[in-house]
Structure 1
Amino acid sequence: MAHGHQASGIAAGRLPEEDIAANFSDLHAPYAPHEAAVAADRCYFCYDAPCVTACPTDIDIPMFIRQIQTGQPETAARTILGQNILGGMCARVCPTETLCEEVCVRETAEGKPVEIGRLQRYATDTLMAQDVHPFTRAEPTGRRVAVVGAGPAGLSCAHRLAMLGHDVTIFEAKGKPGGLNEFGIAAYKSTDDFAAREVDWLLRIGGISIETGKSLGAGLTLDGLTGGHDAVFLSIGLGGVNALRAPGEDLPGAQDAVEFIAELRQADSLAALAVGRNVVVIGGGMTAVDAAVQSKLLGAENVTIAYRRDRASMPASRFEQDLAAAKGVKLMFNVMPVAILGDGAVTGIELEYTAVQNGRVAGTGERVTLAADQVFKAIGQTLDGAPDGVALEGGKIAVTGAGRTSVAGIWAGGDCASGGDDLTVTAVAEGRDAAMDIHSALTA
């Protein structure tokens, strides 16, 4: 994959270091205790609360907010973490505006929901700062489970299994755990190395070991894993990237958005990170917004998101769209890439206007060319290296119930499994539920 850092127009240090530091500070400042108390006071503590129904991990939201209101943030954190062990990260990255906060009675009545995400962060941050792990491990069962992939689903599954007394080994392809929480989310949503600190905290339950640099196919086989363990949980994510199928997509300066975000998240100095003057991002999801906004924060002059359908169809929430616009990103709708232009490096992109007919996107023949020295592809990811012998559905690992695959003794969850909606919070729920199902199978 061409990184294109030497390509024309792509340069580091477009902004002074202090400006970049300010740009990448926390998106939502954490609550002070008195702010949390005021925010908690707005909750109606609904019976049959719609926010709980909207939460993929079924957190008892009125309960934890009441615990904050009565001055017990640590107890509130236990309520949250009992359902969602990565509640700290989810408080930062969850699209609460389209989940719990969208259905909040306050939102319905007055257009201003209880700020559930920020209250959740206040509670979990308070507990994590105390340097204690709120869960204790059950008596060891002598059972061993392999988890392949240390992203949110794998970590959630491993923690719940360890808590129930099983021994867990996580095999992770990258050099450190965390999955997309570590490599794939905008830096301004996860400041102060939070993803890595949360993993360290989670591992304190005991009974979990992580082996990095290990992926399926490269020295790890399903036969080997099932032979040496009582159960296997696959949470391998989506490592492949969809092709644009447009000429020029291999030019230096054209890059996968996920690769750019990973590079940014792992960079020692953001000021040293190269970015184009004219950046175009193809796609309409959270990854597209994260890549576009961060390009702007690094000092790119013109940043455009080009999406093939209309605004209402854009997968990124309205909050994310408005955030991009507020940071100076231009949003273009109903356009699709025809060709990435350039000779030796990207110089522009040709887009065709689209119309949707019978639900399908079709070109109208009308075209427009934008100047671009950097193009990011954010058009979705695919399963890379599907495990042999495990049935697939729609390009993902087919699962039934709580993550059972077509092969006995093998479960799967997170983005690699069918039926999910590619959210951290959903992956956590799937990992937790698979762990409970594995536990039932191992102790039956």
Structure 2
Amino acid sequence: MTTTVFTKGIAAGRLAADALTENFGDLHPPLEAHEALVAADRCYFCHDAPCMTACPTSIDVPLFIRQIATGTPEAAAKTILEANILGGMCARVCPTETLCEEVCVREVAEGKPVEIGRLQRYATDTVMAADVHPFERAAPTGKTVAVVGAGPAGLSAAHRLAMKGHDVTIFDARPKAGGLNEYGIASYKAPDRFAQAEVDWLLKIGGITVEHGKKLGAEIALDTLKAEFDAVFLAIGLAGVNALRLPNTDLEGIRNAVDFIADLRQADDLSSLPVGRNVVVIGGGMTAVDAAVQSKLLGAQNVTMAYRRGADRMSASVYEQELAATKGVHILTHASPSGFVAGDNGAVSAVTFDLTIETENGLESSGETVTVEADQVLLAIGQTLDGAPDGVALERGKIAVDTFGRTSMDGVWAGGDCASGGEDLTVTAVAEGRDAAEDIHAVLMGEG
């Protein structure tokens, strides 16, 4: 048996390479062909399918599962991709346990839903492995559209617009396309560089050009895009990070969880990534879970995920909370950070929390505190809109849009996390990009 010696402070190479490879393997192994047939056979193919209603992209779930059951996974993939062009990634990262699978009739009756997410992955993986793109471009319209942001909403809109015959240019600030799919989700949910493989496959529709290193408000301006293109779709995401208004947040060892995850996702060698011995993650959402679990998988000895309210108020699903617990993450609830303790070396050494209670007047301190040792603190307290262009109306801190995705500015649409409305989920962003693209097409063709 190998014993890992943990040193204090943040260090790389806490685990051997083979252990890291095992830790960051596929969270849900793909279904084999026979397994897919058995899983598909459990579906009742409901006429009024609640799973389809629960899907933000309204994938015809009974139809694609029936197509798998009849041995035509390629047809199943087309059914999925017609509604959700990023169906491969969504099959991996969607919280199906709170969407389609939660309302599955077999879940309600037996407590075990049809494995819709894994079946969706089986179908889409089959098409991508065959290097087939089931869609063709329409005749060129002569219209051009600028898409700002190469995340799920931007890619979804670009593909739909290109398929309609428009010429699309995507501008993105980062060196790779994919947005949160590439930079912001846990590595074990989409290993083997799947995000980039899916982007490459999507772009095979043709008619889409991607320009990297182009940030709105810096290298490109909205007024210029409006002048040069027939329509503009904003999918700039939430690049800002909420500030934790406490002293000592600049101590060494304290950083934003989204940056930690991005570094991990882009690392070629996981053994080169530094991680603390005692890690504290502040937050209760999916980003907090991803950061906490991956800290543990990198070799942190003690990982605590702290949230100021109860577990039932966390935005991370029960499944995600249970995943964190099974990986050895300690979840501390009703704990609001009140201060950071500096060690002799000037780096963070502990976090102090006020223990809270929920009253009719809201969240209040119980008068008790707890201190948790920490040499690394990851802040996952939410992201904010950064760089909204002048002249576009905002609503609750996001770009205001109507049901078509139209902003207050003529010729400009928006969708995804940067826009008001839906939940901050990959699948929701895909739906908003797709629907905005349909409206843009109607307007450009004089039908809207």
Q: So what's the TM-score if we normalise by structure 1?
A: 0.98
Q: CA deviation at 1:127?
A: 0.6
**Number of residue pairs matched?**
438
Q: Does 1:431 find its partner at 2:401?
A: no
Residue matched to 2:275: 275
Residue matched to 1:252: 252
Q: CA deviation at 1:361?
A: 2.0
Distance 1:29 1:359, change over 3 A: farther
The CA RMSD over aligned residues, in Å, is: 0.9
Find the partner of 1:422 among 418, 421, 424: 424
Residue matched to 2:355: 353
Q: CA deviation at 1:364?
A: 2.0
CA separation in 1, counterparts of 2:33 and 2:379?
Answer: 41
CA separation in 2, counterparts of 1:44 and 1:358?
Answer: 45
Find the partner of 1:379 among 381, 405, 417: 381
Does the Cα contact within 8 Å between 1:8 and 1:345 map onto a contact in 2? no
Q: Deviations over 1:269-309 (max 9, x none)?
A: 01110000000000000000000000000000000100011
Residue matched to 1:133: 133
Residue matched to 2:302: 302
Distance 1:85 1:346, change over 3 A: same
CA separation in 2, counterparts of 1:411 and 1:227?
Answer: 15
SS state of the match for residue 90, structure 1?
helix
Structure 1 consecutive aligned stretches of length 4 or more whose deviation exceeds 4 Å: none
Does the Cα contact within 8 Å between 1:278 and 1:301 map onto a contact in 2? yes
Q: CA deviation at 1:8?
A: 5.8
SS state of the match for residue 219, structure 1?
coil
Matched letter for residue 263 of structure 1: D
Does the Cα contact within 8 Å between 1:54 and 1:99 map onto a contact in 2? yes
Q: CA deviation at 1:132?
A: 1.4
SS state of the match for residue 338, structure 1?
strand
Structure 2 spans left out of the alignment, 5+ residues? 1-6
Residue matched to 1:3: none
Distance 1:231 1:346, change over 3 A: same
CA separation in 1, counterparts of 2:263 and 2:362?
Answer: 34
Matched letter for residue 340 of structure 1: F
Give me the identity figure in percent. Answer: 70
Q: So what's the TM-score if we normalise by structure 2?
A: 0.97
SS state of the match for residue 168, structure 1?
strand
Q: Deviations over 1:125-151 (max 9, x none)?
A: 001111111100000000000000000
CA separation in 2, counterparts of 1:389 and 1:359?
Answer: 38
Q: CA deviation at 1:359?
A: 6.5
CA separation in 1, counterparts of 2:154 and 2:18?
Answer: 37
Q: Deviations over 1:298-338 (max 9, x none)?
A: 00000010001101111101110000000000011100100
CA separation in 1, counterparts of 2:358 and 2:223?
Answer: 46
CA separation in 2, counterparts of 1:8 and 1:277?
Answer: 6
Does the Cα contact within 8 Å between 2:8 and 2:277 map onto a contact in 1? no
Residue matched to 2:396: 394
SS state of the match for residue 427, structure 1?
helix
Q: CA deviation at 1:355?
A: 1.3
* 1:57-72 map, 5 Å: 57-72=57-72
Does the Cα contact within 8 Å between 2:384 and 2:397 map onto a contact in 1? yes
SS state of the match for residue 259, structure 1?
helix
Q: CA deviation at 1:349?
A: 0.3
Does the Cα contact within 8 Å between 2:281 and 2:288 map onto a contact in 1? yes
CA separation in 2, counterparts of 1:321 and 1:282?
Answer: 14
Q: Deviations over 1:1-48 (max 9, x none)?
A: xxxxxx961000111110010000000000000000000000000011
